[in-house]
Each structure stands twice: as C-alpha cells, then as structure tokens.
Amino acid sequence: MTTVRVWFTKTGEASYISLLDLQRVMQRALKRSGLPVWYTQGFNPHIYMTFAAPLALGQESLVESLDCKMEPLPSDWEQARAALQACLPEGVRAVKLEPAGMAPTKIASAVYEIQYPAQMRQDVRHAVQAYNALSQALVEKKGKKGKMKQMDLKQYLPALELVETGETVSVPAELPAGNTLTVNPALLLDFLEKGTGLPPEAPRILRVALKTQEGEIFC
C-alpha cells in the first residue's frame, strides 16, 4: 500500500469551503472517481486523508495537498487526475497525483501574495514604506489554549516589498506555517490597516508555495 499525494488548487468561491467541508468534498470525490483508495477498517469505514498545512477560510491557494493510501497504484497518473477532477466542485482543481514525497511535518513556512487592485497602488506603497520604517510591528495572536499573546511581525517579515503589474499590486510574504507555529497573513493585513493607515480593503490572499526549514519547496 502506497501513500499518494493529491495536489490541488482552491480558488474563487471555493476559498470559503471550511476544512471540515473540504474533507467531505474530497471523501465524496475520491469515492465517485473510482480510484483504488484505501478505507479504514471498523464500523464506519472511511478514506483516511491527511491535509498539509490547512488554509484559513477565505484564502486561496495554488499548492494544496492531501495524502491518502491506494492499492494498487494507478497505471496512468494523468487519467487518475482527470477522473478525480470530474468529481470536484468549481474552484477546486486537481493538478497532479503522485506518490507522496516529503512528510507534511517538514513544512515550516508558507509564501503568500497579498493582491490589491491597481487603483490602490499609492495607498499600498505608502503602507509598505511605513511598515519598513518601523522597528517593531506588534500584533495580538491567539495561542493554542485560546490566550492572546503579543508577537512582532518584524521577526518574520523584517521588510516588505511591492510588486506591481498591470492589474494588481501585490505584497509577497513568507510566514511560519509549521506544527509549532503558524502565522495567518490576516495579522499582517490588520496591522497595515491599523498601524499604517492602509484603507480597509479585502485583498486576495493567495498561497503560492510551501517551504521546509531549509528553504526547500515542499514536494
């Protein structure tokens, strides 16, 4: 029995599918696809799945993955991907199926693109400059036990940069996303609005990569 990794994207309205609902979506899709997925034993058999670094509600991603077990392995991986894709809802797209590589516990950080419309170029540029001029960027983060604690974003993002294209301006951000610490990029947005005067706007938060502690791309 081999662990298979399903790479998929989650964009548009699908970004509002919670992790619990996404688990249900993937359970149904894998079952309907006819792929040789392994089920747990017992009174209530179900497909055992592991999602790597679950995404916060309302955020999009190009690098989502889930691990499940299959036996036998598909003879045609592209055909297996297409079979699964045919069972997925709009906004969730199967990109690739392959034998799993790195363990999800290797994930240490996530890379995001925070995208604003081009007409906010001046406001975003001012916010980035104001952030970079600060010695600290203190925010409140809820701990695992529900207690609020203060943290300095500058520890993880010493400086921000602005990437301008024709239709959008984006702020890249690499933040912790491991088992011991995860920093939601929404904390950065909240700080930019309250700490630098950036007008409240709901930007597109797109996760574009996952990395290990050594800086390698999770694969």
Tens digit of each residue's pLDDT, the chain (219 residues)? 899 999 999 999 999 999 999 999 999 999 999 999 998 887 888 898 999 999 999 999 999 999 999 999 999 999 999 999 999 999 999 999 999 999 999 999 999 999 999 999 999 999 999 999 999 999 998 776 778 889 999 999 999 999 988 888 999 999 999 988 999 999 999 999 999 999 988 899 999 999 999 999 999
Q: What is residue 141's predicted lDDT score, i.e. its pLDDT?
A: 85
Q: Are 205 and 59 in contact (CB under 8 A)?
A: yes
Q: What is residue 59's predicted lDDT score, i.e. its pLDDT?
A: 97
DSSP state for residue 20 in the 8-state scheme: H
Q: What is residue 167's predicted lDDT score, i.e. its pLDDT?
A: 84
Q: Are 91 and 14 in contact (CB under 8 A)?
A: yes
**H or E element at residue 64:** strand 60-70
Give the E-state strand segments of 89-135 in sequence order.
92-99, 107-117
Q: What are phi and psi of 132, to 5 degrees?
A: -65, -25
How far lies 70's CA from each of 34, 165, 219, in Å? 11, 43, 19
Question: Please, what sign has the CA dihedral across residues 58, 63, 66, 72?
Answer: positive
C-alpha of 28 from chain center: 22
Q: Which two tokens stand for residue 198?
A: 């950036």
Q: What is residue 211's predicted lDDT score, i.e. its pLDDT?
A: 98
Q: What is residue 138's predicted lDDT score, i.e. its pLDDT?
A: 95
